[in-house]
Structure formats: structure tokens, C-alpha cells
């Protein structure tokens, strides 16, 4: 049985949840370090077995140390799936699945925006105008076709909900899809299937897959040309899966109808980018309403993986070679801050509670004790 003698953590949890996290490791030394104090983090990691970190795996954790497992407290591991991390042969896991229910809701929010022509309705309301021209041709979700690209945690949650709306749901995944035999169609990449049926026939094409070297710019001019002219794209995955220039061109030229985008490869999107002003494009700034106590859901994943680690069982959400992403540097605002080279004195002046939520504590002694 593997032992965990020391844990170092940088996650931004409130006092109650940090106490819960500390009690997941009752027999271990538990050390908190500010995520921006890279020098101290590297020092504490030298004799630590486990690191529980706010962002992607930082280079300061890739030096000489005792780390065997790193938990990244977010779902996508593409920012960590780079050559130098794989070379260290450290197990890296993430928090995939913790927000799946609300991510599915977020997708449906975009779909409803499209169905109900929200921009037109809000403009009519602002003008006190009853009725919108062409509204007699609008259609809801019932009886329409939705294609989900990537049937992992988020894709499955979404499929369940779209089924309840009476949609015909299709799914594409690289790997076999277990269960979900009620799907109108399953397409498996490793079996030689393509996405073409979904692209050519679905009213909504929804991206819930990982960003890897293989999926980078998977949606481009060629993909959009295969889609229906009235098709609507939703991207709740990662911005780099969609070529932004090709998407903009496709919507401007009427190749597809529009898009709902929570993620864009240019993060944040420049204020004068044409996507902001296209009629059937809806943008949210990589922000989904939280599930009740998202931190606690992460802790549940950590606790299960702690049990698996000690018993040498397969880990949940383990980063593997298939996740490798080296196409372009990860440049989201979150990644720039959590893995910043900015001096810690400058980061301490930032309104960190605004970005990460209120912690409600200043001294780790407030939570760093065992029940």
C-alpha cells in the first residue's frame, strides 16, 4: 500500500472546504502555499508526495522533488499535457465531471437563445414593440436533431437532458460509448466512423470533447462547409478546437446560422472582434454558474483518488498520452494568472477574491487541523 507522507496545496478554497480537504489526508503533513509563490512551492514539493494545485502543472513542480501525484483543480488538462510534464512520469489528474450538470444547462441556454431569437426579442421589448417579423417560422428543440461531439461526463449529462426535451440525439466519440443505447446514432472514431452524419444532418452541433493535438482546430472551414446552413454550433469544450477565423467567416457568409460560445481560442476575445456583433452569435466569457459547492465536488474526486492512489488502483481523470497538447501555448486568462511569472508582490495586489471567490480566512491555522 502506497503511503502519502506529505501534501502541498495551492487551491483557493474557503475555510470549511479546506478543513474537509485537510481531513482527507489525516495521516499526512499538509502544507498550504499561495499559488503565486513559486519559489516556496518548489521547495515544499521537494519532499511532498502529492500536490493539489489551482491551475495547470507549473514548471516549478518539474524540478527535483518527490511528487508522485498532482491534482489540478479544473477539468481540462490540456495546459498540463505537455512534453516536460510527461517526462517527469508523475500521475496528473483533474476535476472533470464536477460541473457537468450546469455545463449541460449552459449548452441548453445557448440553444434556447438561438431558438427564441433572444437578441431580436430583447430589442423589440426595449422598443415596446409587439411581435418580431418571421417569428411564425421559429422552432423549438422538440423533434430536432442534436449531435454531441465527445460523450464524456459533460456530453452524457447533456444527452440525458436533450432526450427529455424530445430531441433526436446523436453522439461521436473517439472511444466506444458504453450504454446510451437509446441514442439515435453512435459514431466511434476508432471504429472508422466519422462525424460526417452529424455535421450534415444535425440542427445543433455541440462540442464537449478535450483539446488535444488531435482535436486542435478540428472545426474549421472544411467542417463548417459540411454543416446545414441553419445549423447552430455550441462550444462548451475548449476554444482551440474551433478555428475562430473560419467560424467567423462561416457565419458571416451564411455557411452556418450561428454559434453559442463559452470558450474562444482568443481568450479574452478582443472587444472589436466581429463575433461580438453577429446577430445569431451568443458569447459568455468562459463563465458557467456553479453547481452547489463546486469545491466540495472536487474534494469528493480527490478523496476517491486518494483511496485509489494508496491501493494502486486506476485513477479517475488521469492524464494520458492521448491528452497531449503541444500545438500552441495555453493562453487563457486563468492560465496566465495561475501560472504567471509575475512577481508575487504584484499578484498580491490583485483582487484575487474577484477571480476565485472569497476564501474567508487569512491564516491556514484556521482550518489546518484534524477532526
360: left (phi over 0), alpha (psi -120 to 50) or beta: left
The string of pLDDT tens digits covering residues 74-89 is: 888 988 999 999 999 9
Q: How many CB atoms sit inside 10 A of residue 36's CB?
A: 24
d(CA 46, CA 66): 6
Residue that is written with C-alpha cell 464536477 in the block? 98
CA-CA distances (angstroms) from residue 164 to 136, 167, 219? 24, 7, 28
Fold of 6-97+291-366: Rossmann fold (3.40.50)
Query: What pLDDT does 232 receive?
Result: 98
163, three cell numbers? 432526450
Domain boundaries, the chain: 6-97+291-366, 100-283
C-alpha cell at 336: 496566465
- Match 464524456 to its residue by C-alpha cell: 152
Peptide bond into 190 cis (omega under 30): no
User: 64-73, 107-116, 306-315, 332-341 — which is least confidently predicted?
Assistant: 332-341
Least confident piece of the model among 70-79, 136-145, 215-224: 70-79
Q: What angle do CA 290, 202, 262 make, to 5 degrees?
A: 25
Q: How many helices (H) and strands (E) does the chain have?
A: 13, 12
pTM for this entry: 0.86
The three cell numbers of residue 54 are: 489551482
Distance in angstroms (rounded) separating the CA atoms of residues 106 and 103: 5
Distance CA 273, CA 267 (A): 12
Sign of the dihedral defined by the CA atoms of residues 82, 84, 88, 89, in that order: positive
CATH 3.40.50.720 assigned to 100-283: yes
Q: Output the nine-digit C-alpha cell for 238.
A: 475548449
- Under 8 Å CB-to-CB from 14, ≥6 apart: which residues? 295, 357, 358, 359, 360, 361
Res 347: pLDDT: 87
Nearest to 80 by CA among 315, 330, 316, 306: 330
DSSP lists the bridge partners of residue 29 as 6
Mean per-residue pLDDT for 26-54? 97
d(C-alpha 24, C-alpha 38), whole Å: 25
- Predicted confidence (pLDDT) at residue 348 exceeds the cutoff of 90: no
Domain 6-97+291-366 shares a fold with domain 100-283: yes
Mean pLDDT of 218-246: 97
Helix (H) or strand (E) holding 258: strand 258-261
- From the number of C-beta atoms within 10 Å of its C-beta (0-12, 13-18, 19+), residue 359 rates as middle
CA distance 279 to 259: 10
Cell output for 188: 466511434
What would the mean pLDDT of 343-362 be, rounded to a whole number?
88
Assess whether pLDDT exceeds 70 at residue 332: no
**Closest to 47 measured CA to CA, from 31, 58, 59, 36:** 31
Mean pLDDT of 210-219: 95
Please report which confidence band the pLDDT of residue 291 belongs to, taking 50, 70 and 90 as the band edges.
Answer: low
Greatest C-alpha distance within the chain = 70
For residue 279, give the C-alpha cell: 446577430
Each residue of 104-113: pLDDT tens digit? 999 999 999 9
Amino acid at each position: 500500500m502506497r503511503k502519502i507522507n506529505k501534501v502541498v496545496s495551492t487551491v483557493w478554497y474557503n475555510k470549511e472546504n479546506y478543513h474537509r480537504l485537510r481531513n482527507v489526508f489525516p495521516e499526512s503533513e499538509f502544507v498550504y502555499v499561495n499559488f503565486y509563490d513559486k519559489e516556496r512551492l518548489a521547495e515544499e514539493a521537494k519532499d511532498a508526495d502529492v500536490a493539489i494545485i489551482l491551475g495547470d502543472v507549473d514548471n516549478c513542480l518539474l524540478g527535483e522533488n518527490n511528487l508522485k501525484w498532482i491534482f489540478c483543480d479544473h477539468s481540462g488538462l490540456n495546459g498540463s499535457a505537455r512534453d516536460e510534464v510527461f517526462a517527469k512520469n508523475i500521475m496528473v489528474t483533474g476535476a472533470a465531471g464536477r460541473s457537468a450538470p450546469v455545463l449541460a444547462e449552459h449548452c441548453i441556454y445557448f440553444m434556447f437563445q438561438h431558438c427564441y431569437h433572444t437578441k431580436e426579442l430583447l430589442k423589440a421589448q426595449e422598443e415596446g414593440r409587439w411581435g418580431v417579423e418571421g417569428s411564425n417560422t421559429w422552432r423549438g428543440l422538440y423533434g430536432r436533431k442534436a449531435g454531441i461531439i465527445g460523450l464524456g461526463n459533460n456530453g452524457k449529462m447533456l444527452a440525458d437532458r436533450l432526450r427529455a426535451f424530445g430531441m433526436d440525439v446523436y453522439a461521436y466519440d473517439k472511444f466506444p460509448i458504453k450504454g446510451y443505447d437509446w441514442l439515435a446514432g453512435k459514431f466511434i472514431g476508432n471504429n472508422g466512423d466519422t462525424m460526417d452524419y452529424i455535421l450534415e444532418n444535425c440542427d445543433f452541433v455541440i462540442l464537449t470533447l478535450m483539446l488535444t493535438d488531435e482535436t486542435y482546430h478540428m472545426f474549421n472551414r472544411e467542417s463548417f462547409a459540411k454543416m446545414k446552413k441553419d445549423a447552430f454550433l455550441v462550444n462548451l469544450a475548449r476554444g482551440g478546437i474551433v478555428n475562430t477565423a473560419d467560424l467567423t467567416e462561416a457565419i458571416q457568409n451564411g455557411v452556418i446560422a450561428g454559434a453559442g460560445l463559452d470558450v474562444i481560442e482568443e481568450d479574452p476575445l478582443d472587444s472589436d472582434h466581429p463575433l461580438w456583433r453577429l446577430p445569431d452569435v451568443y458569447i459568455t466569457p468562459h463563465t458557467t454558474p456553479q453547481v452547489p459547492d463546486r469545491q466540495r465536488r472536487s474534494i469528493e474526486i480527490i478523496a476517491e483518488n486518494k483511496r485509489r492512489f494508496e491501493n494502486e488502483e486506476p485513477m479517475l481523470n488521469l492524464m494520458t498520452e492521448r491528452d497531449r497538447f503541444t500545438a500552441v501555448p495555453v493562453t487563457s486568462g486563468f492560465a496566465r494568472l495561475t501560472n504567471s511569472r509575475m512577481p508575487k508582490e504584484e499578484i498580491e495586489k490583485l483582487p484575487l477574491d474577484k477571480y476565485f471567490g472569497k476564501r474567508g480566512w487569512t491564516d491556514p491555522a484556521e482550518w489546518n487541523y484534524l477532526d
